[in-house]
């Protein structure tokens, strides 16, 4: 039996969202989130977490997010195999089901004109 892996990640985008359409016609966005932490010696370290979003969430991320923006992502941890220069490597990433915009450079408005920061 396989267990579900649940993840919550908060950090800043290391680059603009990379968005593309899949063969199925669905939109996918790759986000790279920088998460700061302290190591055993107390030095600052940064972990780079890859997040994949799909559908409306991906489209909204493309529209409103850019490098440096702060986000909180809720999703599930998954792994996949990737071919790289003839080698197969396993990649761990988060498939984001919710992306909370904490601090963005672009103003977000809903139909009522109020700020909306959850997609």
pLDDT value of residue 82:
85
Mean predicted lDDT score pLDDT of the chain: 87
Q: 34 and 86 in contact (C-beta within 8 Å)?
A: no
pLDDT band at 98 (very low <50, low <70, confident <90, very high): very high
pLDDT score of 66 more than 60: yes
DSSP-assigned states of every residue in 50-62: EEEEEHHHHHHHH
- State how far the alpha carbon of 17 is from the alpha carbons of 70, 85, 87, 89, 93, in Å: 13, 25, 26, 23, 15
pLDDT value of residue 67:
95
Percentage of the chain exceeding pLDDT 70: 86
Task: State CA 24 to chain mean position distance.
Answer: 21
pLDDT band at 119 (very low <50, low <70, confident <90, very high): very low
pLDDT score of 6 more than 50: yes
Which residue would you say has higher pLDDT here, 6 or 48? 48
The residue behind tokens 């440096």 is 68
CATH class of 6-103: mainly beta
């Amino acid at each position: 039996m396989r267990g579900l892996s649940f993840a919550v990640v908060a950090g800043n985008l290391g680059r603009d969202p990379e968005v593309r359409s899949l063969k199925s016609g669905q939109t996918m966005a790759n986000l790279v989130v920088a998460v700061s932490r302290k190591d055993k010696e107390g030095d600052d370290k940064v972990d780079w977490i890859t997040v994949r979003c799909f559908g409306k969430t991906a489209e909204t991320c493309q529209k409103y997010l850019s490098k440096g923006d702060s986000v909180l992502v809720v999703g599930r941890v998954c792994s996949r195999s990737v071919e790289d220069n003839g080698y197969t490597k396993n990649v761990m990433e988060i498939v984001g089901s919710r992306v909370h915009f904490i601090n963005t450079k672009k103003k977000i408005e809903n139909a009522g004109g109020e700020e909306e920061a959850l997609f």
